[in-house]
Structure 1
Amino acid sequence: MALGRLSDTTSKGVITAMKSIFVRHGIPDIVISDNGPQYASEEFRSFPESWEFTHVTSSPGHAQSNGQAERTVQTVKQLLKRSQNDAGDPYIALVEYRNTPLESVGLSPAQMLMGRRLKTKLPESTSLLTPERALNVHKQLKAKQAKQKKYYDQHAKPLPELHKGENVRMHFGDKWKPAVVLEKHIQPRSYVVSTSESRMLRRNRRHLRQTAESMFPPTAAESNVDVDMNCEKTPSVDKVKSHTQSLAATLSSHSCNPSTLAQPYRTRSGRLVKAPLRYNV
Protein backbone atom coordinates (compact mmCIF):
# COMPACT_ATOMS: atom_id res chain seq x y z
CA MET A 1 0.00 0.00 0.00
CA ALA A 2 1.43 3.35 -1.08
CA LEU A 3 0.05 6.56 0.41
CA GLY A 4 0.60 10.08 -0.92
CA ARG A 5 -0.81 13.52 -0.23
CA LEU A 6 -2.34 15.44 -3.13
CA SER A 7 -2.31 19.22 -3.28
CA ASP A 8 -5.25 19.01 -5.69
CA THR A 9 -7.27 16.37 -7.54
CA THR A 10 -6.58 17.58 -11.06
CA SER A 11 -5.19 15.28 -13.72
CA LYS A 12 -1.77 16.91 -13.40
CA GLY A 13 -1.67 16.36 -9.64
CA VAL A 14 -2.76 12.73 -9.93
CA ILE A 15 -0.23 12.00 -12.69
CA THR A 16 2.60 13.49 -10.61
CA ALA A 17 1.63 11.35 -7.59
CA MET A 18 1.45 8.21 -9.73
CA LYS A 19 4.86 8.90 -11.28
CA SER A 20 6.31 9.24 -7.79
CA ILE A 21 5.00 5.76 -6.92
CA PHE A 22 6.14 4.26 -10.23
CA VAL A 23 9.78 5.38 -9.82
CA ARG A 24 9.90 3.60 -6.43
CA HIS A 25 8.14 0.37 -7.32
CA GLY A 26 8.27 0.23 -11.12
CA ILE A 27 5.67 0.76 -13.83
CA PRO A 28 2.70 -1.63 -13.49
CA ASP A 29 1.09 -3.51 -16.35
CA ILE A 30 -2.47 -2.45 -15.44
CA VAL A 31 -3.81 0.51 -13.43
CA ILE A 32 -7.41 0.24 -12.22
CA SER A 33 -9.27 3.38 -11.16
CA ASP A 34 -12.78 4.71 -10.75
CA ASN A 35 -14.43 7.03 -13.28
CA GLY A 36 -13.36 10.34 -11.76
CA PRO A 37 -13.08 13.35 -14.08
CA GLN A 38 -9.30 13.50 -13.61
CA TYR A 39 -9.01 10.09 -15.30
CA ALA A 40 -11.14 11.12 -18.30
CA SER A 41 -9.14 14.15 -19.41
CA GLU A 42 -7.02 14.22 -22.56
CA GLU A 43 -3.94 14.82 -20.42
CA PHE A 44 -4.44 11.59 -18.48
CA ARG A 45 -5.36 9.58 -21.58
CA SER A 46 -1.91 10.23 -23.04
CA PHE A 47 -0.21 9.21 -19.77
CA PRO A 48 -0.74 5.41 -20.11
CA GLU A 49 0.44 5.55 -23.72
CA SER A 50 3.69 7.36 -22.92
CA TRP A 51 4.45 5.20 -19.85
CA GLU A 52 3.25 2.00 -21.56
CA PHE A 53 0.66 0.61 -19.16
CA THR A 54 -3.05 -0.19 -19.52
CA HIS A 55 -5.67 1.95 -17.76
CA VAL A 56 -8.92 0.20 -16.80
CA THR A 57 -11.90 1.84 -15.10
CA SER A 58 -14.40 0.16 -12.79
CA SER A 59 -18.14 0.06 -13.46
CA PRO A 60 -19.79 3.45 -12.73
CA GLY A 61 -21.84 3.33 -9.55
CA HIS A 62 -20.57 -0.16 -8.69
CA ALA A 63 -17.71 0.17 -6.18
CA GLN A 64 -17.58 -3.59 -5.69
CA SER A 65 -15.94 -3.97 -9.11
CA ASN A 66 -12.90 -2.18 -7.64
CA GLY A 67 -13.22 -3.78 -4.23
CA GLN A 68 -9.52 -4.20 -3.46
CA ALA A 69 -8.83 -0.48 -3.82
CA GLU A 70 -12.02 0.48 -1.96
CA ARG A 71 -11.05 -1.79 0.96
CA THR A 72 -7.55 -0.30 1.04
CA VAL A 73 -8.99 3.22 1.17
CA GLN A 74 -11.19 2.16 4.08
CA THR A 75 -8.16 0.73 5.91
CA VAL A 76 -6.14 3.93 5.38
CA LYS A 77 -9.01 6.08 6.65
CA GLN A 78 -9.26 3.94 9.80
CA LEU A 79 -5.51 4.26 10.41
CA LEU A 80 -5.57 8.03 9.99
CA LYS A 81 -8.65 8.42 12.19
CA ARG A 82 -7.24 6.31 15.02
CA SER A 83 -3.91 8.10 14.80
CA GLN A 84 -5.66 11.47 14.99
CA ASN A 85 -7.79 10.40 17.96
CA ASP A 86 -4.69 9.19 19.83
CA ALA A 87 -2.68 12.30 18.87
CA GLY A 88 -0.11 10.04 17.23
CA ASP A 89 1.99 10.11 14.07
CA PRO A 90 0.09 8.70 11.06
CA TYR A 91 3.35 7.62 9.40
CA ILE A 92 4.25 5.44 12.41
CA ALA A 93 0.82 3.84 12.15
CA LEU A 94 1.43 3.17 8.45
CA VAL A 95 4.81 1.52 9.19
CA GLU A 96 3.25 -0.71 11.82
CA TYR A 97 0.51 -1.74 9.39
CA ARG A 98 3.06 -2.68 6.74
CA ASN A 99 4.93 -4.71 9.36
CA THR A 100 1.86 -6.65 10.55
CA PRO A 101 1.66 -10.24 9.20
CA LEU A 102 -1.40 -11.20 7.17
CA GLU A 103 -3.41 -14.09 8.54
CA SER A 104 -3.64 -15.98 5.25
CA VAL A 105 0.11 -16.14 4.44
CA GLY A 106 1.83 -15.39 7.75
CA LEU A 107 3.90 -12.60 6.17
CA SER A 108 3.60 -8.84 6.37
CA PRO A 109 3.13 -6.60 3.30
CA ALA A 110 6.73 -5.40 3.75
CA GLN A 111 8.04 -8.98 3.75
CA MET A 112 6.14 -9.83 0.58
CA LEU A 113 7.38 -6.69 -1.18
CA MET A 114 10.98 -6.41 0.06
CA GLY A 115 11.66 -9.83 1.58
CA ARG A 116 12.30 -8.43 5.07
CA ARG A 117 10.61 -6.70 7.96
CA LEU A 118 10.77 -2.95 8.51
CA LYS A 119 12.64 -1.48 11.44
CA THR A 120 10.22 0.26 13.78
CA LYS A 121 10.35 1.89 17.22
CA LEU A 122 9.88 -1.53 18.78
CA PRO A 123 13.05 -3.50 19.59
CA GLU A 124 13.79 -6.12 16.92
CA SER A 125 16.53 -8.65 16.31
CA THR A 126 18.91 -7.84 13.47
CA SER A 127 18.24 -11.26 11.93
CA LEU A 128 14.58 -10.30 11.40
CA LEU A 129 15.70 -7.39 9.23
CA THR A 130 17.74 -9.61 6.92
CA PRO A 131 16.10 -10.12 3.51
CA GLU A 132 14.64 -13.59 2.92
CA ARG A 133 12.93 -14.98 -0.13
CA ALA A 134 9.19 -15.44 0.38
CA LEU A 135 8.05 -18.74 -1.12
CA ASN A 136 4.55 -19.81 -2.20
CA VAL A 137 3.06 -16.41 -1.26
CA HIS A 138 1.17 -16.07 -4.54
CA LYS A 139 -0.21 -19.59 -4.19
CA GLN A 140 -1.40 -18.91 -0.63
CA LEU A 141 -3.07 -15.65 -1.65
CA LYS A 142 -4.84 -17.40 -4.52
CA ALA A 143 -6.06 -20.10 -2.12
CA LYS A 144 -7.45 -17.44 0.21
CA GLN A 145 -9.24 -15.69 -2.66
CA ALA A 146 -10.68 -19.01 -3.85
CA LYS A 147 -12.02 -19.67 -0.36
CA GLN A 148 -13.64 -16.22 -0.22
CA LYS A 149 -15.17 -16.79 -3.65
CA LYS A 150 -16.57 -20.13 -2.52
CA TYR A 151 -18.44 -18.60 0.40
CA TYR A 152 -19.62 -15.62 -1.64
CA ASP A 153 -20.95 -17.83 -4.44
CA GLN A 154 -23.13 -19.72 -1.96
CA HIS A 155 -25.44 -16.68 -1.83
CA ALA A 156 -24.94 -15.39 -5.38
CA LYS A 157 -25.73 -16.53 -8.89
CA PRO A 158 -24.60 -15.32 -12.32
CA LEU A 159 -27.01 -13.02 -14.11
CA PRO A 160 -27.98 -13.90 -17.69
CA GLU A 161 -26.30 -11.94 -20.45
CA LEU A 162 -28.11 -9.09 -22.17
CA HIS A 163 -28.34 -8.72 -25.93
CA LYS A 164 -28.25 -5.78 -28.30
CA GLY A 165 -31.61 -4.03 -28.62
CA GLU A 166 -33.04 -5.61 -25.44
CA ASN A 167 -35.29 -3.43 -23.27
CA VAL A 168 -34.10 -3.16 -19.67
CA ARG A 169 -34.65 -1.12 -16.54
CA MET A 170 -31.56 0.77 -15.33
CA HIS A 171 -31.03 1.56 -11.65
CA PHE A 172 -30.69 5.32 -11.27
CA GLY A 173 -30.82 6.73 -7.74
CA ASP A 174 -33.92 5.24 -6.13
CA LYS A 175 -35.67 4.54 -9.45
CA TRP A 176 -35.47 2.02 -12.27
CA LYS A 177 -35.48 3.96 -15.54
CA PRO A 178 -36.16 2.48 -19.01
CA ALA A 179 -33.18 1.89 -21.28
CA VAL A 180 -32.10 -0.08 -24.33
CA VAL A 181 -28.93 -2.19 -24.55
CA LEU A 182 -26.58 -0.94 -27.30
CA GLU A 183 -23.67 -3.35 -26.83
CA LYS A 184 -21.57 -5.22 -24.32
CA HIS A 185 -18.70 -3.20 -22.89
CA ILE A 186 -15.10 -4.35 -23.14
CA GLN A 187 -14.93 -4.70 -19.33
CA PRO A 188 -16.52 -7.76 -17.66
CA ARG A 189 -20.22 -7.58 -16.74
CA SER A 190 -20.61 -4.07 -18.15
CA TYR A 191 -22.98 -2.84 -20.86
CA VAL A 192 -23.49 0.36 -22.84
CA VAL A 193 -27.14 1.42 -22.73
CA SER A 194 -29.22 4.28 -24.12
CA THR A 195 -31.89 5.95 -22.02
CA SER A 196 -35.16 7.47 -23.15
CA GLU A 197 -33.39 10.86 -23.12
CA SER A 198 -30.94 9.52 -25.76
CA ARG A 199 -28.10 9.49 -23.24
CA MET A 200 -25.48 6.76 -23.54
CA LEU A 201 -24.29 5.31 -20.22
CA ARG A 202 -22.09 2.48 -19.10
CA ARG A 203 -23.59 0.34 -16.36
CA ASN A 204 -22.78 -2.88 -14.53
CA ARG A 205 -25.01 -5.89 -15.18
CA ARG A 206 -26.11 -5.73 -11.55
CA HIS A 207 -27.78 -2.37 -12.23
CA LEU A 208 -29.74 -3.62 -15.25
CA ARG A 209 -32.93 -5.65 -15.04
CA GLN A 210 -34.57 -7.52 -17.85
CA THR A 211 -38.16 -6.49 -18.46
CA ALA A 212 -41.17 -7.97 -20.21
CA GLU A 213 -42.33 -4.53 -21.34
CA SER A 214 -42.73 -4.48 -25.09
CA MET A 215 -42.87 -0.68 -25.30
CA PHE A 216 -41.71 1.97 -22.85
CA PRO A 217 -43.99 4.92 -22.10
CA PRO A 218 -42.47 8.32 -23.00
CA THR A 219 -40.66 10.18 -20.24
CA ALA A 220 -39.85 13.85 -19.91
CA ALA A 221 -36.21 14.86 -20.39
CA GLU A 222 -34.28 15.42 -17.16
CA SER A 223 -31.30 17.69 -16.87
CA ASN A 224 -29.58 15.83 -14.03
CA VAL A 225 -28.97 12.58 -15.88
CA ASP A 226 -25.58 11.05 -15.09
CA VAL A 227 -23.48 11.00 -18.26
CA ASP A 228 -20.60 8.69 -17.44
CA MET A 229 -19.20 6.55 -20.20
CA ASN A 230 -15.44 6.50 -19.68
CA CYS A 231 -15.30 3.59 -22.11
CA GLU A 232 -12.11 2.22 -23.57
CA LYS A 233 -14.25 1.02 -26.45
CA THR A 234 -17.11 3.24 -27.56
CA PRO A 235 -19.52 2.84 -30.47
CA SER A 236 -18.79 4.67 -33.69
CA VAL A 237 -20.16 8.17 -34.29
CA ASP A 238 -22.41 7.00 -37.14
CA LYS A 239 -23.83 4.23 -34.97
CA VAL A 240 -24.54 6.57 -32.09
CA LYS A 241 -26.08 9.19 -34.37
CA SER A 242 -28.28 6.62 -36.10
CA HIS A 243 -29.51 5.14 -32.84
CA THR A 244 -30.11 8.56 -31.28
CA GLN A 245 -32.15 9.74 -34.27
CA SER A 246 -34.17 6.53 -34.28
CA LEU A 247 -34.86 6.71 -30.56
CA ALA A 248 -35.75 10.41 -30.73
CA ALA A 249 -38.15 9.77 -33.62
CA THR A 250 -39.82 6.94 -31.68
CA LEU A 251 -40.25 9.04 -28.55
CA SER A 252 -41.49 11.98 -30.61
CA SER A 253 -44.13 9.85 -32.25
CA HIS A 254 -45.25 8.52 -28.87
CA SER A 255 -45.49 11.96 -27.31
CA CYS A 256 -47.27 13.67 -30.19
CA ASN A 257 -49.61 11.03 -31.49
CA PRO A 258 -52.68 10.53 -29.25
CA SER A 259 -53.47 7.18 -30.82
CA THR A 260 -50.01 5.89 -29.98
CA LEU A 261 -50.25 7.06 -26.37
CA ALA A 262 -53.53 5.23 -26.02
CA GLN A 263 -51.88 1.93 -26.85
CA PRO A 264 -51.37 -0.26 -23.78
CA TYR A 265 -48.00 -1.62 -22.69
CA ARG A 266 -46.87 -4.31 -20.27
CA THR A 267 -44.90 -3.74 -17.07
CA ARG A 268 -42.07 -5.93 -15.75
CA SER A 269 -44.57 -8.11 -13.92
CA GLY A 270 -46.58 -8.59 -17.11
CA ARG A 271 -49.48 -6.33 -16.04
CA LEU A 272 -51.20 -4.54 -18.94
CA VAL A 273 -51.30 -0.76 -18.47
CA LYS A 274 -53.24 1.68 -20.62
CA ALA A 275 -51.41 4.98 -20.98
CA PRO A 276 -53.48 8.17 -20.46
CA LEU A 277 -54.56 10.15 -23.50
CA ARG A 278 -52.69 13.46 -23.75
CA TYR A 279 -52.51 16.15 -26.41
CA ASN A 280 -49.69 18.63 -26.96
CA VAL A 281 -51.61 21.89 -27.03
Structure 2
Amino acid sequence: MGHMFLVMVDAHSKWLEAHIMSNITATTTIKKLRQVFSTHGLPDSLVSDNATTFTCDLFQEFMRRNGIRHVRSAPFHPASNGLAERAVQTLKEGLKRMTGGTITTKLSRFLFQYRITPQTTTGQAPAVMLMGRWPKAHLDLLRPNIRARVERKQEKQKERHDHHARERQLKPNDTVYIRNFTSSQRWLPGIILSQSGPVSFVVKLTDGRVMRRHQDHLRLRYDKDKTMSSDGTAVGGSIQVEIPQETASEEQGHSVVPAEGNGHSLTNTQPAPVPSDPAPLGHALPVSRSTPGVLRRSQRSHKPPERLTL
Protein backbone atom coordinates (compact mmCIF):
# COMPACT_ATOMS: atom_id res chain seq x y z
CA MET A 1 0.00 0.00 0.00
CA GLY A 2 3.04 2.26 0.16
CA HIS A 3 2.51 3.44 3.76
CA MET A 4 4.18 2.65 7.08
CA PHE A 5 2.09 1.95 10.19
CA LEU A 6 2.86 1.78 13.88
CA VAL A 7 0.67 -1.07 15.17
CA MET A 8 -0.03 -1.60 18.89
CA VAL A 9 -2.42 -4.00 20.59
CA ASP A 10 -3.51 -4.29 24.23
CA ALA A 11 -2.87 -7.79 25.59
CA HIS A 12 -5.90 -7.65 27.92
CA SER A 13 -8.70 -6.15 25.84
CA LYS A 14 -7.22 -6.76 22.34
CA TRP A 15 -7.73 -3.05 21.61
CA LEU A 16 -5.93 -2.20 18.37
CA GLU A 17 -4.05 1.05 17.72
CA ALA A 18 -2.67 1.87 14.27
CA HIS A 19 -1.05 5.12 13.18
CA ILE A 20 0.27 6.18 9.79
CA MET A 21 3.96 7.05 10.07
CA SER A 22 5.97 9.30 7.78
CA ASN A 23 9.17 7.63 9.02
CA ILE A 24 10.10 5.06 11.66
CA THR A 25 12.81 6.91 13.51
CA ALA A 26 13.01 6.68 17.28
CA THR A 27 12.00 10.31 17.73
CA THR A 28 8.81 9.95 15.62
CA THR A 29 7.93 6.66 17.32
CA ILE A 30 8.31 8.20 20.79
CA LYS A 31 5.96 11.06 19.82
CA LYS A 32 3.27 8.57 18.79
CA LEU A 33 3.75 6.56 21.96
CA ARG A 34 3.32 9.69 24.07
CA GLN A 35 0.04 10.37 22.23
CA VAL A 36 -1.24 6.86 22.96
CA PHE A 37 -0.07 6.88 26.58
CA SER A 38 -1.86 10.21 27.17
CA THR A 39 -5.14 8.43 26.35
CA HIS A 40 -4.70 4.97 27.88
CA GLY A 41 -1.99 5.54 30.47
CA LEU A 42 1.42 3.96 30.89
CA PRO A 43 1.66 0.18 30.40
CA ASP A 44 3.53 -2.17 32.72
CA SER A 45 5.51 -3.74 29.88
CA LEU A 46 6.01 -3.30 26.15
CA VAL A 47 6.92 -6.16 23.80
CA SER A 48 8.52 -5.32 20.44
CA ASP A 49 10.73 -6.83 17.77
CA ASN A 50 14.43 -6.12 17.35
CA ALA A 51 14.16 -3.20 14.92
CA THR A 52 16.72 -0.42 15.25
CA THR A 53 13.99 1.97 16.38
CA PHE A 54 13.37 -0.10 19.53
CA THR A 55 16.99 -0.94 20.32
CA CYS A 56 18.54 2.54 20.21
CA ASP A 57 19.61 4.35 23.38
CA LEU A 58 16.99 7.09 22.94
CA PHE A 59 14.12 4.58 23.02
CA GLN A 60 15.61 2.71 25.94
CA GLU A 61 15.91 5.95 27.91
CA PHE A 62 12.26 6.74 27.18
CA MET A 63 11.20 3.33 28.53
CA ARG A 64 13.31 3.75 31.64
CA ARG A 65 11.99 7.23 32.51
CA ASN A 66 8.36 6.08 32.24
CA GLY A 67 8.90 2.90 34.28
CA ILE A 68 8.01 0.56 31.42
CA ARG A 69 9.65 -2.85 31.19
CA HIS A 70 10.80 -3.35 27.59
CA VAL A 71 10.77 -6.92 26.33
CA ARG A 72 12.18 -7.81 22.88
CA SER A 73 11.26 -10.99 21.04
CA ALA A 74 13.83 -13.56 19.94
CA PRO A 75 15.63 -12.72 16.69
CA PHE A 76 14.24 -14.31 13.53
CA HIS A 77 11.27 -15.72 15.46
CA PRO A 78 8.14 -13.53 14.86
CA ALA A 79 5.94 -15.98 16.76
CA SER A 80 7.52 -14.76 20.00
CA ASN A 81 5.44 -11.62 19.54
CA GLY A 82 2.48 -13.40 17.97
CA LEU A 83 -0.22 -10.98 19.21
CA ALA A 84 1.39 -8.00 17.45
CA GLU A 85 2.17 -10.01 14.29
CA ARG A 86 -1.43 -11.21 14.07
CA ALA A 87 -2.62 -7.60 14.51
CA VAL A 88 -0.42 -6.53 11.58
CA GLN A 89 -1.93 -9.21 9.32
CA THR A 90 -5.47 -8.30 10.38
CA LEU A 91 -4.80 -4.63 9.60
CA LYS A 92 -3.44 -5.39 6.14
CA GLU A 93 -6.36 -7.65 5.24
CA GLY A 94 -8.92 -5.14 6.54
CA LEU A 95 -7.48 -2.20 4.63
CA LYS A 96 -7.45 -4.21 1.38
CA ARG A 97 -11.20 -4.83 1.74
CA MET A 98 -11.99 -1.17 2.36
CA THR A 99 -13.17 0.71 -0.72
CA GLY A 100 -13.43 4.44 -1.36
CA GLY A 101 -11.81 7.33 0.47
CA THR A 102 -8.27 8.08 1.45
CA ILE A 103 -5.98 5.81 3.44
CA THR A 104 -6.83 7.80 6.59
CA THR A 105 -10.57 7.26 6.03
CA LYS A 106 -10.07 3.54 5.38
CA LEU A 107 -7.98 3.20 8.55
CA SER A 108 -10.60 4.98 10.68
CA ARG A 109 -13.43 2.80 9.33
CA PHE A 110 -11.47 -0.39 9.87
CA LEU A 111 -10.51 0.48 13.45
CA PHE A 112 -14.10 1.43 14.25
CA GLN A 113 -15.48 -1.89 13.01
CA TYR A 114 -12.70 -3.92 14.61
CA ARG A 115 -13.10 -2.36 18.05
CA ILE A 116 -16.85 -3.04 18.28
CA THR A 117 -16.63 -6.62 16.94
CA PRO A 118 -16.46 -9.42 19.56
CA GLN A 119 -13.03 -11.03 19.72
CA THR A 120 -12.66 -14.81 19.47
CA THR A 121 -10.42 -15.09 22.55
CA THR A 122 -12.33 -12.91 25.01
CA GLY A 123 -15.81 -13.27 23.49
CA GLN A 124 -16.36 -9.53 23.91
CA ALA A 125 -15.62 -6.47 21.80
CA PRO A 126 -12.32 -4.69 22.57
CA ALA A 127 -14.26 -1.46 23.24
CA VAL A 128 -16.37 -3.20 25.89
CA MET A 129 -13.31 -4.74 27.54
CA LEU A 130 -11.48 -1.42 27.62
CA MET A 131 -14.27 1.12 28.30
CA GLY A 132 -16.90 -1.07 29.93
CA ARG A 133 -19.68 -0.03 27.54
CA TRP A 134 -20.87 -0.50 23.97
CA PRO A 135 -20.07 2.48 21.74
CA LYS A 136 -22.97 3.60 19.57
CA ALA A 137 -22.77 2.20 16.03
CA HIS A 138 -24.89 2.28 12.87
CA LEU A 139 -26.81 -0.84 13.90
CA ASP A 140 -27.97 0.97 17.04
CA LEU A 141 -29.91 3.38 14.81
CA LEU A 142 -32.09 0.47 13.66
CA ARG A 143 -32.74 -0.73 17.22
CA PRO A 144 -34.75 1.83 19.23
CA ASN A 145 -33.44 2.84 22.61
CA ILE A 146 -36.45 2.60 24.92
CA ARG A 147 -34.77 4.48 27.77
CA ALA A 148 -33.74 7.42 25.58
CA ARG A 149 -37.22 7.52 24.02
CA VAL A 150 -38.89 7.69 27.45
CA GLU A 151 -36.50 10.43 28.59
CA ARG A 152 -37.27 12.53 25.50
CA LYS A 153 -41.01 12.13 26.05
CA GLN A 154 -40.65 13.14 29.70
CA GLU A 155 -38.67 16.24 28.71
CA LYS A 156 -41.39 17.29 26.26
CA GLN A 157 -44.09 16.76 28.89
CA LYS A 158 -42.13 18.90 31.35
CA GLU A 159 -41.73 21.67 28.77
CA ARG A 160 -45.48 21.72 28.05
CA HIS A 161 -46.29 21.74 31.78
CA ASP A 162 -43.81 24.49 32.60
CA HIS A 163 -45.12 26.64 29.75
CA HIS A 164 -48.45 27.20 31.57
CA ALA A 165 -47.39 26.57 35.17
CA ARG A 166 -46.67 29.33 37.64
CA GLU A 167 -43.65 29.27 39.89
CA ARG A 168 -44.73 28.94 43.52
CA GLN A 169 -42.37 29.31 46.43
CA LEU A 170 -44.03 28.14 49.63
CA LYS A 171 -42.18 27.79 52.91
CA PRO A 172 -43.00 27.01 56.54
CA ASN A 173 -44.95 29.66 58.52
CA ASP A 174 -46.68 30.93 55.36
CA THR A 175 -50.40 31.56 55.82
CA VAL A 176 -52.36 29.75 53.14
CA TYR A 177 -55.75 28.44 52.12
CA ILE A 178 -55.96 24.69 51.52
CA ARG A 179 -58.44 22.89 49.30
CA ASN A 180 -61.14 21.10 51.29
CA PHE A 181 -62.69 17.94 49.83
CA THR A 182 -64.88 16.85 52.76
CA SER A 183 -67.45 19.65 53.24
CA SER A 184 -69.22 22.45 51.43
CA GLN A 185 -66.56 25.00 52.37
CA ARG A 186 -64.02 24.65 49.57
CA TRP A 187 -61.08 26.55 51.11
CA LEU A 188 -59.88 26.46 54.73
CA PRO A 189 -57.32 28.85 56.30
CA GLY A 190 -54.18 27.50 57.86
CA ILE A 191 -50.42 27.83 58.23
CA ILE A 192 -47.65 25.70 56.75
CA LEU A 193 -45.80 23.67 59.38
CA SER A 194 -43.24 21.85 57.22
CA GLN A 195 -42.48 20.56 53.76
CA SER A 196 -42.98 16.81 53.50
CA GLY A 197 -41.82 16.41 49.89
CA PRO A 198 -40.68 18.31 46.81
CA VAL A 199 -44.24 19.58 46.18
CA SER A 200 -46.09 18.49 49.36
CA PHE A 201 -46.65 20.46 52.57
CA VAL A 202 -48.04 19.81 56.05
CA VAL A 203 -50.59 22.49 56.99
CA LYS A 204 -52.20 23.18 60.37
CA LEU A 205 -55.73 24.59 60.21
CA THR A 206 -57.18 27.21 62.52
CA ASP A 207 -59.26 24.55 64.27
CA GLY A 208 -56.14 22.52 65.12
CA ARG A 209 -56.36 19.84 62.42
CA VAL A 210 -53.19 18.93 60.52
CA MET A 211 -53.44 18.01 56.84
CA ARG A 212 -50.99 17.25 54.06
CA ARG A 213 -51.64 18.80 50.66
CA HIS A 214 -49.99 19.13 47.25
CA GLN A 215 -48.92 22.62 46.29
CA ASP A 216 -51.62 22.65 43.61
CA HIS A 217 -54.17 22.60 46.45
CA LEU A 218 -52.61 25.54 48.31
CA ARG A 219 -53.14 29.28 47.85
CA LEU A 220 -51.28 32.02 49.65
CA ARG A 221 -53.49 33.97 52.06
CA TYR A 222 -53.11 37.73 52.49
CA ASP A 223 -55.03 39.02 55.55
CA LYS A 224 -54.66 42.74 56.29
CA ASP A 225 -52.80 43.41 59.55
CA LYS A 226 -53.37 39.88 60.74
CA THR A 227 -50.86 37.13 61.35
CA MET A 228 -51.07 33.59 62.62
CA SER A 229 -48.73 31.88 65.03
CA SER A 230 -47.27 28.42 64.52
CA ASP A 231 -49.93 26.91 66.77
CA GLY A 232 -52.68 27.99 64.33
CA THR A 233 -54.16 30.89 66.38
CA ALA A 234 -54.77 34.40 65.08
CA VAL A 235 -52.72 37.23 66.55
CA GLY A 236 -53.82 40.92 66.59
CA GLY A 237 -55.13 43.18 63.83
CA SER A 238 -58.39 43.24 61.98
CA ILE A 239 -59.68 41.63 58.81
CA GLN A 240 -60.52 43.71 55.78
CA VAL A 241 -64.19 43.10 54.94
CA GLU A 242 -65.86 44.22 51.74
CA ILE A 243 -69.44 45.49 52.09
CA PRO A 244 -71.75 43.98 49.44
CA GLN A 245 -73.15 46.48 46.95
CA GLU A 246 -76.75 45.54 47.69
CA THR A 247 -76.41 46.87 51.28
CA ALA A 248 -74.28 49.92 50.53
CA SER A 249 -77.28 52.29 50.45
CA GLU A 250 -78.54 51.14 53.86
CA GLU A 251 -75.11 51.63 55.41
CA GLN A 252 -75.40 55.30 54.42
CA GLY A 253 -78.72 55.68 56.29
CA HIS A 254 -81.04 55.78 53.24
CA SER A 255 -83.45 53.23 51.89
CA VAL A 256 -84.70 52.98 48.34
CA VAL A 257 -88.47 52.51 48.06
CA PRO A 258 -90.12 51.92 44.69
CA ALA A 259 -92.99 54.33 43.88
CA GLU A 260 -96.38 53.09 42.88
CA GLY A 261 -97.61 53.50 39.32
CA ASN A 262 -94.93 55.61 37.58
CA GLY A 263 -92.02 53.14 37.99
CA HIS A 264 -89.74 55.78 39.63
CA SER A 265 -88.12 55.31 42.98
CA LEU A 266 -88.27 57.75 45.86
CA THR A 267 -85.59 58.28 48.44
CA ASN A 268 -86.55 58.12 52.07
CA THR A 269 -84.35 60.41 54.15
CA GLN A 270 -85.24 58.69 57.39
CA PRO A 271 -82.50 56.32 58.63
CA ALA A 272 -83.21 52.66 58.33
CA PRO A 273 -83.96 50.82 61.58
CA VAL A 274 -80.93 49.27 63.20
CA PRO A 275 -81.41 45.69 64.46
CA SER A 276 -80.99 45.13 68.18
CA ASP A 277 -78.46 42.34 67.63
CA PRO A 278 -75.86 43.50 65.16
CA ALA A 279 -74.60 40.96 62.68
CA PRO A 280 -71.17 39.47 63.36
CA LEU A 281 -68.16 41.05 61.72
CA GLY A 282 -67.65 39.90 58.17
CA HIS A 283 -71.36 39.09 57.48
CA ALA A 284 -73.79 41.28 55.54
CA LEU A 285 -76.95 42.53 57.26
CA PRO A 286 -80.21 40.99 55.99
CA VAL A 287 -81.94 43.26 53.49
CA SER A 288 -85.49 42.87 52.25
CA ARG A 289 -85.62 42.66 48.49
CA SER A 290 -87.56 45.49 46.80
CA THR A 291 -89.80 45.09 43.81
CA PRO A 292 -87.72 45.32 40.62
CA GLY A 293 -88.21 48.47 38.53
CA VAL A 294 -89.68 48.70 35.06
CA LEU A 295 -87.40 47.21 32.42
CA ARG A 296 -86.01 49.71 29.96
CA ARG A 297 -85.98 48.67 26.32
CA SER A 298 -84.48 50.32 23.29
CA GLN A 299 -86.84 52.56 21.25
CA ARG A 300 -84.75 52.39 18.13
CA SER A 301 -86.66 51.42 15.01
CA HIS A 302 -85.30 48.46 13.12
CA LYS A 303 -85.20 48.70 9.34
CA PRO A 304 -85.47 45.41 7.47
CA PRO A 305 -82.48 44.62 5.19
CA GLU A 306 -82.80 45.20 1.46
CA ARG A 307 -82.31 41.96 -0.43
CA LEU A 308 -81.52 41.53 -4.10
CA THR A 309 -84.38 39.85 -5.95
CA LEU A 310 -83.71 38.52 -9.47
Using the size of structure 1 for normalisation, the TM-score is 0.42
Larger radius of gyration: 2
Bigger relative contact order, structure 1 or 2 (CA pairs below 8 A, ≥6 apart): 1
Using the size of structure 2 for normalisation, the TM-score is 0.38
